[in-house]
Structure 1
Amino acid sequence: MKALLFDFDGTLLDTNELIIQTFMHVLEERFPGQYSPKDCINFIGPSLKETFEQLTPNEVEEMIEKYRQWNEAHHDELVKEFEGVVPTLEQLKEQGIRLAIVSTKRKDTIEKGLNIMGAKHLFEFWIGTDDVKRVKPDPEPVLLAIDKLGVSKKDVIMIGDNYHDIEAGKNAGVKTAGVAWSLKGEQFLQQFNPDYMLQHMSDLLTIVKES
């Protein structure tokens, strides 16, 4: 295995609480008393455009802007690192494994999270919603990453915490890995048949060695 593509939110950085609280803030203002934090878990994974097209089809851009303003204002206080992520990434990088991010958030927000983690230097690039016309589960962002890396599909794994990541990897023709620390749960991800299920980030060290 030569290259690993990572989703960002909920995979490399624990942004779950930030996302849930942001959705609660904007939805409580627009639909008082109609949504709970548990409801908001369903909005983790899809792009903001997809989510608000379903919830407020006539106010998509306005709701996205409100979401981003609150999210950015509270970002640093509500995100936290997943245990073992950065040390594992450092080891993979030392072994010559190429690392990139394929996310459904904007590039500047990905960079903000990477700076908090101190992990910006470990990735060759990050692909966000501003780089593509179609987001995961469409294969476009994964295929773009493969093209930028210049590697064969057989040497790539797409890793994520949501079905969008698994489906995008499959649609692009690469191997896939789910993460057991997904907020939606390991059992939820297993139904999409990823090639691997990571119980801990360090599992990647074994997978890379054996594949």
Structure 2
Amino acid sequence: MKINTLLFDLDGTLINTNDLIIASFTHTLGQYYPEKYSREDIIGFIGEPLVESFASVDEERAEEMVEVYRKHNVENHDLLVTEYEGVFETIKTLQENGFKLAIVTSKMRNTVEMGLKLTNLDQFFDVVVTVDDVENPKPNPEQLNKAMEQLGSSPEQAMMVGDSQFDIQAGKNAGVKTAAVSWSIKGRDFIEKQNPDYLLENMADLLDILGVK
């Protein structure tokens, strides 16, 4: 069956929030554990729900740390977020060619909407499934299944596109094709080892994979 549905992660895939995420983690961890966590440690947290990241640091104060992170993240959002090369044009082309598009992200809805609006990508996505909408975020397939249900699609028709191991694992768990982006902050070698079906050098590579002229 032909792919007609694309499920996209947001951060690190469509929009470059790496500087913002690292700055927000650095700010928060520096407040509670000065000089204990390196940039490499922080990169290891990227892609999983915030509460899980901070629970691994300090289970008792995890919720409190999440609030500190989110305040910093929202206040600095528009200063530090940019769009990856080729993303806008590719998403626009996919929509014009009748593909069903959804965002599937571990972020909360308010910051998802901020990022989509800032990069003008909001016009292309009628379905957005955030961490607020499910009991079990990625790598559990619940978010992907919810997006496919809202789009009227099946796993045979869908592909998950993301930058972290959680995206690729969620895609495999949902029984959909997977595409990883080579610009993942976790590194090309790391993301290749997750064995995605496709590795994208530029978002426009999707058009070739899907046979879009």
Q: Does 1:95 align with 2:97?
A: yes
Deviation per residue, 1:8-43 (Å, 9 max, x gap): 000000000000010000101100111122221111
Deviations 1:123-169 (A, max 9, x none): 12111011000000011101111111111211100000000000000
Gaps of 5+ in 2: none
- TM-score, structure 1 length as denominator? 0.97
Moved more, 35-44 or 155-164: 35-44
Q: Which residue of structure 2 aligns with residue 120 of structure 1?
A: 122
SS, match of residue 168 in structure 1: helix
Name the counterpart of 1:141. 143
Contact 1:21 1:37 in 2 (8 A): no
* Identical residues among aligned pairs (%): 47
Instruction: Note the C-alpha offset of 1:174.
Output: 0.5
Match of 2:131 among 124, 129, 132: 129
Moved over 3 A (4+): none
Per the normalisation by structure 2, the TM-score is 0.97
Q: Which runs of 5+ in 1 are unaligned?
A: none
Counterpart residue number, 2:197: 195
RMSD: 0.9
- After TM superposition, the structure 1 = structure 2 runs for residues 26-175 of structure 1, keeping only pairs within 5 Å, are 26-175=28-177
User: How many angstroms does 1:207 deviate by?
Assistant: 1.1
1:3, 1:98 within 8 Å by CA — same for their partners in 2? yes
Q: In the comparison of the two structures, how many residue pairs are matched?
A: 210
